[in-house]
């Protein structure tokens, strides 16, 4: 009975769920996001497996050396990887701020995370189209969609990931605005945790894409 005050304070806000014997305090939103992410993971797995099968079945890689396809810029994409990892850190810090009911820090960290996503998209545009150096990107250098199995798997997988980053950046921006409006004060951080799950997943997938498509 003596813990009533604490109990009440911590149950303030709509984050309290009945304690499920299997899933504990996981909210419906959290489990829903995980179901979506697992289906998404299998989609990415399908793309990466298709790439592995095409590459494994080819005598050389790139499949046609006569096409003189460009090599991928490893230092540049390693920097993009680092950028996504940094945005994952600002995301966990945003969640920590939400847990502590610190609206100012929550908005700051969510905005930084969204900025990281936007910069990643700029980086991808630079890689494809060379938007910052006069169109001198992979496409101009001869990596054409439809040109080879290497070009096809590269563009399909990285643009699908890029679409996730774009979605995440929009999602982050909306949540940053809602946070600034005070929608996630008072210990109501479940929605921020669900957002975090999505964003970290985008980072997790990029870690795998970077290794399999760029480094191997």
Partner 1 sequence: MAEKGKKKSGGAGDKAEPAKQASVDGEKKASVETEAKTEAKDHGAAIAMPIEKHGEAAASAHHAAAHGHPVDRREYFIVFGVLFALTVLEVVLANPALGIARSLVGIGLVGMAIAKASLVGYFYMHLKHDTKVMKLTVAIPMATPAFYALVLVTEAAWRLTR
How big is the chain by its Cα radius of gyration, in Å?
21
Residue among 161 and 200 whose Cβ is closer to partner 1 = 200
Shortest Cβ 92–partner 1 spacing (Å):
5
Interface residue with partner 1, options 28, 32, 135, 211 (CB under 8 A): 211
Interface residue with partner 1, options 15, 111, 124, 153 (CB under 8 A): 15
Interface residue with partner 1, options 122, 170, 177, 207 (CB under 8 A): 207
Contact segment (CB under 8 A) with partner 1 among 111-119, 139-147, 159-167, 201-209 equals 201-209
Upstream peptide bond of 133 is cis (omega within 30 degrees of 0): no
Residue among 151 and 209 whose Cβ is closer to partner 1 = 209
| Residues 163/156/142/135 CA torsion (nearest 10 deg) | -10
Strand partners, 20: 24
Per residue in 28-47, is it b (16+ CB within 10 Å) or e — as a string? ebbeebbeebeebeeebeeb
Taking each helix axis as running N to C, give the angle between helix 149-180 and helix 28-56, from 0 to 180 degrees, rounded to the nearest 10. Answer: 160
- The DSSP annotation for 86-126 comes to HHHHHHHHHHHHHHTT-HHHHHHHHHHHHHHHHHHHHHHHH
Which tokens in the block code for residue 177? 């605005």
Measured in degrees and rounded to the nearest 5, phi and psi for residue 20 equal -75, 140
Shortest Cβ 135–partner 1 spacing (Å):
27
- x/- track of binding to partner 1 for residues 23-62 (CB under 8 A): xxxx-------x---x--xx--xx-xx--xx--x------
Residue 47 CA to residue 12 CA, distance in Å, equals 44
Shortest Cβ 30–partner 1 spacing (Å):
9
Contact in structure between 160 and 44 (CB atoms under 8 Å): yes
Shortest Cβ 203–partner 1 spacing (Å):
6
- x/- track of binding to partner 1 for residues 77-116 (CB under 8 A): -x--xx--xx-xx-xxx-xx--xxx---------------
Name the site residues for partner 1 (rule: CB under 8 A): 2-12, 15-16, 19, 22-26, 34, 38, 41-42, 45-46, 48-49, 52-53, 56, 74-75, 78, 81-82, 85-86, 88-89, 91-93, 95-96, 99-101, 185-187, 189, 193, 196-197, 200-201, 203-204, 207-208, 210-212, 215-216
């Amino acid at each position: 009975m003596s813990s009533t005050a604490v109990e009440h304070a911590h149950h303030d806000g709509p984050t309290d769920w009945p304690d499920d014997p299997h899933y504990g305090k996981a909210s419906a939103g959290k489990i829903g996001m995980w179901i979506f992410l697992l289906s998404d993971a299998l989609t990415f797995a399908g793309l990466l497996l298709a790439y592995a099968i095409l590459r494994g079945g080819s005598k050389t890689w790139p499949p046609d050396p006569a096409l003189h396809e460009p090599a991928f810029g490893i230092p540049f994409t390693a920097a993009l990887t680092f950028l996504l990892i940094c945005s994952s850190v600002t995301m966990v810090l945003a969640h920590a701020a939400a847990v502590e009911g610190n609206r100012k820090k929550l908005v700051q960290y969510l905005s930084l995370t969204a900025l990281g996503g936007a910069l990643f998209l700029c980086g991808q545009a630079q890689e494809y189209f060379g938007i910052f150096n006069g169109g001198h990107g992979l496409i101009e250098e001869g990596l054409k969609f439809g040109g080879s199995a290497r070009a096809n798997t590269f563009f399909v997988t990285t643009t699908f990931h890029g679409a996730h980053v774009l979605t995440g950046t929009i999602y982050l921006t909306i949540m940053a605005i809602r946070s600034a409006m005070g929608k996630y004060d008072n210990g109501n951080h479940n929605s921020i945790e669900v957002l975090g799950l999505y964003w970290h997943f985008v980072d997790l997938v990029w870690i795998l894409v970077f290794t399999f498509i760029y480094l191997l």
